[in-house]
Chain A
Amino acid sequence: MISLSWYLGLSALLFTIGAIGVIIKRNVITIFLCIELMLNAVNLSFVSLSSYFKEISGQLFVFIVMTVAAAEAAVGLAIIISIFRNRASLNVDEADNLKM
């Protein structure tokens, strides 16, 4: 049987990849995917801990996180569409109207 630490290690790895992606990527959609990756890394760690503890509230948390991620995706993509309509670019570096 695979021990808990492997799951937690994978979760930490995924989270790090996601966090690095958010920082270095310049396309809005890619950044958004990296954020989803971070949330899923959290889900993995919740599920594995929950099954390790034989306690259900961790899995409950995962459902909530998934729901929230779906709602966030809906709103986020709507924002991305509206920004694309107005400036026809998805590069975050080009969105610089708001600099002093």
Chain B
Amino acid sequence: MFAFLQTSPDLSVILQQTKELIMPEVLLLLFACAALVIDVLLPRQQKFLVAWLSIVGLLVSLVSLIFVYKGMGSSAKAGFFGMIVIDPYAVVFKMMFLIGALLAILLSIKYLDEEGEQRGEYYALILFAVVGMMFMASGVDLLTLFIALELMAISVYILVGYLRRDQRSNEAAMKYFLLGAFSSGVLLYGISMVYGMTGSTNLADIAKALPVVIGANYQPLGQAVDMRYLVLMSMILMAAGMFFKVAAVPFHMWAPDAYEGAPTSITAFMSVAVKAASFAMFGRIFLYGLPDLRGTLEGNATSHLPALPGWAVLLGVVSAITIVWGNLAALTQTNTKRLLAYSSISHAGYTLLGIIAGNQTGYTGFVIYLFIYTLMNLGVFGCIIALRRRGIIGDRMEDLNGLMKKAPWLTVMMTIFLLSLGGIPPTAGFIGKFYLFAGLIETGNPWLVRLAILAVLMSAVSLYYYLRFIRAMYIEAETEMQPVMQSWPLRIALATAALFVLLIGIFPQQLIALTQKAATGPKTYVYQNDGAEHAAPKSPPQSMPSPAPPPR
């Protein structure tokens, strides 16, 4: 990269040509800084204006993103010395983050008043986090990805601990921060090992160099060495770092605590946008940087080197555990935020299935599911935010009792989102799950088909706890009489989300076309049908972290 910088006659010329690629991010960053400044100038009662400024910023960024997308044509554009790429994959994910943040801010305005913490930096931090996310979706250099990840993570650490006087919020922030920083360290160590083996941090270069490194006749110092264990270990370290961020099961223990303690609006934001961004980065690293490590790492018959399993196996095992554990743990929860945290863990497991399938349908499912999940999970949390009233936090299951009598409109919205999370047909959740499971079954690999069957069974289990909400809302008698007041931004956000959840469920073609374009980027992988068994062996590899014993 630096060699190019030195030979180029004029840096500004290059920047001129590529600066429009990051225009959405630049605009959003300007609005975030403006929000910080204006926050100081506004009197206390008018701090909510910062929220509207942020919403304008998000909309401007969204419009500019659409312009970038239109100007992109059919091919992907790389800029900034191959560190940033704008392709449909990046654009769709960025759209997801912007919409997620937009709805989250709409949900927050009234909520922060209730908490008595209406301050402008809240919105500025959300915008900063979104800027980080957008770079996570379009970064193709481990350096860019790492900075972007940290920009997002640090902003979200602060937001989780935003309610400074609330012990639960403090505790959630501490747990999230310690485990998040730890996982960044693990991820970085994996990155440094990859750098050591390939001599580059660019994902394209890494993808080119790794097949040579894992080849049986790799002779860096004159004699053949077996680098595959080292490659496998760095891959596992990077995967572990990413599993932390998406809250997949051996590394999920922060999620229920952080989700329960954080302000509900931030829980909503974290569970959708942060998770989607982590998945975007996950996809970038594994599908663009390490595509050749997916299947088996071939051994060498002459020197008796065994074949090693690749990351498809690792992800398969992790997603199976995640789906089972997330759903079973959710069954017994009484706190709705905690229950939804476990449900969101299981949804991370479903989303991983799309990467594991490795075909066009699977990748489409991966993107489309995250998009739909953004809408429906924000919706559910929005309904819980609406229950926050004077003296009532609204995160206990009993707080939903008899909601149908108090707020029928809210109840109907909640029902739509819950059915969508459960994957019931007329809603969007069904489309997402359909693509994910169809991708697995299309591969024809018996192990992957079994995984799909497990996922279907478990999503039937998940209906049990979603129906608990519905039972509480429709059947149970009211336990308290305090009326539910809904602010109009919240109503708009919920209505939009519900409308799209239904629209996508009934007319999914538009979104499918968009996500299919996004899914054409990664190289699709064909499982060999004859030796299919070895693509997913019965026991996980030695070096893989064994499924964690259920905490508590």
A72 contacts across to B, CB distance below 8 A = 150, 154, 181, 184
CB-based contact B150/A68 at 8 Å: yes
Q: Is B517 an interface residue (CB 8 A)?
A: no
Q: Is A6 an interface residue (CB 8 A)?
A: no
Tell me, rounded to whole Å, the shortest Cβ–Cβ distance linking B267 to chain A.
12
Q: Is B430 an interface residue (CB 8 A)?
A: no
Contact residues of B between 148 and 198, Cβ < 8 Å to A: 150, 154, 157-158, 161, 164-165, 167-168, 170-175, 177-178, 181-182, 184-186, 188-189, 191-193, 195-196
B66 contacts across to A, CB distance below 8 A = none
A-side interface residues, number (CB < 8 Å) = 44
Closest partner residue, chain A, to B147 (CB atom)? A64
Q: Which of A35, A56, A71, A100 lies in contact with B333, CB distance below 8 A?
A: A100
A-B contact pairs, 20 of them (CB 8 A): A15-B185, A15-B189, A32-B181, A42-B185, A45-B192, A57-B195, A57-B200, A60-B143, A61-B142, A68-B146, A68-B184, A75-B154, A75-B177, A79-B161, A82-B173, A86-B165, A92-B178, A95-B174, A95-B175, A97-B168
B146 contacts across to A, CB distance below 8 A = 61, 64-65, 68
CB-based contact A95/B338 at 8 Å: no
Closest partner residue, chain B, to A47 (CB atom)? B192
Q: How far is the CA of A72 from the CA of B154 in the complex (A)?
A: 7
CB-based contact B174/A64 at 8 Å: no
A78 contacts across to B, CB distance below 8 A = 158
A35 contacts across to B, CB distance below 8 A = 178, 181-182, 185
CB-based contact B195/A98 at 8 Å: no
Q: Is B257 an interface residue (CB 8 A)?
A: yes
Contact residues of B between 192 and 218, Cβ < 8 Å to A: 192-193, 195-196, 199-201
CB-based contact B167/A86 at 8 Å: yes
CB-based contact A86/B170 at 8 Å: yes
CB-based contact A98/B2 at 8 Å: no
B261 contacts across to A, CB distance below 8 A = 97-98
Q: Is B552 an interface residue (CB 8 A)?
A: yes
Q: Is B486 an interface residue (CB 8 A)?
A: no
A28 contacts across to B, CB distance below 8 A = 174, 178
Q: How far is the CA of A32 from the CA of B261 in the complex (A)?
A: 21
Closest partner residue, chain B, to A62 (CB atom)? B192
CB-based contact A49/B189 at 8 Å: no
Contact residues of B between 330 and 345, Cβ < 8 Å to A: 333-335, 338
B178 contacts across to A, CB distance below 8 A = 22, 28, 31-32, 35, 76, 92
Given contacts A35-B182, A71-B154, contact A46 B192 (CB under 8 A): yes
Q: How far is the CA of A67 from the CA of B129 in the complex (A)?
A: 17
Q: How far is the CA of A72 from the CA of B192 in the complex (A)?
A: 20
B338 contacts across to A, CB distance below 8 A = 100
